[in-house]
Structure 1
Amino acid sequence: MVEILGYLAAILIGLSLGLIGGGGSILTVPVLVYLFAIEPVVATAYSLFIVGLTSSVGAFNYFKQGLVKLKTALLFGIPSIFSVFLTRNYLIPTIPEEIFSVGSFTLTKGVFLMALFAVLMILASYKMITSKNKPKETVKKQTSQSTKEYVLIILQGLFVGMITGLVGAGGGFIIIPALVFLLGLEMKEAIGTSLTIITLNSLFGFLVSQSHIQTDWTLLLGLSAMAIIGIFIGMRLAKNIDGAKLKPLFGWFVLLMGSYILLKELVF
């Protein structure tokens, strides 16, 4: 029964990616850890594959419509990939299995990653809840970006790569605002480009994790298939539903999930 819920949740992962261009990875790690009993470090790697493969389907669909800015994707994506590589290969292995103990409480590597993920969920939910109902579709496109804006994009790419590498999150909630408000992309272009960046980051992150984990391909491909079904449904619904209007509702759900994970890992 629990596994059935997990596969149904995988559809929601794809649905979120198809509707709002992000948010799917926020659900993936909790689904893997709590419904499939996957160890957190392995769950972050599995999440990278599921989110990367699912995002690639969405990115290809947007690319066919001319809604992917490849130059921008590379500008953001190359620093992200570099950061993912450093995080998965050098940062995560240096985190000790037992970080510290206070009384009866022990902060393990798994608890630390889940708590960090929960904090990320809460921060992401805040941005989703407080975002305006209608994203700025009419942001004036810039003919050229300043050096400062390019530097900000590169720095955000490095930050997103670190987050992707640490907790298996694609970072769409960071990428899309940066593309819209720093580079002046229209919302649909931002979603298509975001999915492309998430694809590059996530699949690369999974590949560099292979030397550290054993992969259950049956589970991984099964969940990915369900998530891909979800993204097709999401992309179809996106033609008639404004994903931005659903973002605050999804944000409240993410807030509840993040708060539950934080309490479960650190308190109960």
Structure 2
Amino acid sequence: MTALILALVAGAVVGLTLGALGGGGSVLAVPALVYLLGFTPAAATTASLVIVTATSLTALYTHARAGQVRWKAGAAFAAAGMLPAAAAGAAAVHVPQALLTVAFAATAALSALAMLRPAATARRASGDVPPGRAAAAGAGLGTLTGLLGVGGGFLAVPALVTVLAFEMEAAVGTSLLVITVNSVASLATRSGAAASLDWTVIGPFAGTAVLGAWDGKRMAAKVTGPRMQRIFAGVLLVVAAFMLADALT
């Protein structure tokens, strides 16, 4: 019963975060599965992909209905990152985990600081982004995501805001497209591992995450773009600090 309650609460938090901020699913889900629900790191990573895929699809639908997804640029961004992510993931096994964690924390912190700069308030409302620029940014993100293991959403939103000059609302919606594509691609390589997961925990976790995504979208609609951007940057700094402390202890 305790595990069920923890799964329900953790799922709600993950769903709210993804629905409102367009990222943070894996960063929050993996620690919850490991430290609260007793999953091994390998099982937690696979279970997180299942949960994040279902939740991101739901959140993507709600943002698409509101016209906050830039499909053309988002598709180019996501597609360009798939091969670099696979190549970087293969290389990551040869790099010490602590070094990867520190690198992710530094990248997250720099992304947050870039979003807090006054220059980052300029936005591209139309989403008319050159495909080459979107593809280059997506390839860079894919490399980081594959190398560091997590961070698709948390790094996609800052990239869309600071590199492609998206307004925050469109960055959140479009990042969900990127997360969905990356999660499905990653999950496809782990289909065998998914069969052995504890679905009595994952099912309730994913269920409340999906419901939380709807509430997260409604919460985001009540917050202005600049304020949401500051909130996102603050959460990103907290995540970076936590991961840095974990790597150094």
TM-score above 0.5: yes
- Secondary structure of 2:242's counterpart equals helix
Question: For residues 102 and 7 of structure 2, what CA distance do their matches in structure 1 show?
Answer: 19
Distance 1:188 1:240, change over 3 A: same
Q: Which amino acid aligns with 1:55?
A: S
Q: Which amino acid aligns with 2:186?
A: G
- Based on CA coordinates, which of the two structures has the bigger radius of gyration? 1
1:98-137 paired onto structure 2 within 5 Å: 112=97, 116-117=100-101, 119-121=103-105, 123-128=107-112, 131-132=115-116, 136=121
Structure 2 counterpart of 1:235: 217
CA drift at 1:197: 0.9
- Say which is worse superposed, 218-227 or 246-255, in terms of deviation: 246-255
Distance 1:143 1:129, change over 3 A: closer
Structure 2 counterpart of 1:251: 236
Equivalent of residue 204 in structure 2, options 219, 222, 242 = 222
1:124-163 paired onto structure 2 within 5 Å: 124-128=108-112, 131-132=115-116, 136=121, 138-139=123-124, 145=130, 150=132, 153-163=134-144
Structure 2 counterpart of 1:199: 180
Question: For residues 61 and 188 of structure 2, what CA distance do their matches in structure 1 show?
Answer: 20
Structure 2 counterpart of 1:102: none
What do residues 119-147 of structure 1 show as CA deviations (whole Å, max 9, x unaligned)? 524532453366329862644657563xx
Q: Tell me whether 1:185 sits opposite 2:176 in the alignment.
A: no
Distance 1:16 1:79, change over 3 A: same
CA drift at 1:203: 1.7
TM-score where L is the length of structure 2: 0.79
Distance 1:32 1:181, change over 3 A: same
Contact 2:70 2:127 in 1 (8 A): no
Contact 1:44 1:166 in 2 (8 A): no
CA drift at 1:31: 1.2
Q: Which amino acid aligns with 2:202?
A: L
- Secondary structure of 2:116's counterpart equals coil
Structure 2 counterpart of 1:24: 25
Gaps of 5+ in 2: none
- Say which is worse superposed, 174-183 or 39-48, in terms of deviation: 174-183
Structure 1 or 2: larger helix share? 2
- Secondary structure of 1:211's counterpart equals helix
TM-align CA RMSD: 3.2
Question: For residues 115 and 219 of structure 1, what CA distance do their matches in structure 2 show?
Answer: 31
Distance 1:84 1:143, change over 3 A: closer
Aligned sequence identity (%): 29
State how many pairs are aligned.
243
What do residues 131-185 of structure 1 show as CA deviations (whole Å, max 9, x unaligned)? 329862644657563xxx82x5334423433444466535223222332343343
Question: For residues 160 and 35 of structure 1, what CA distance do their matches in structure 2 show?
Answer: 29
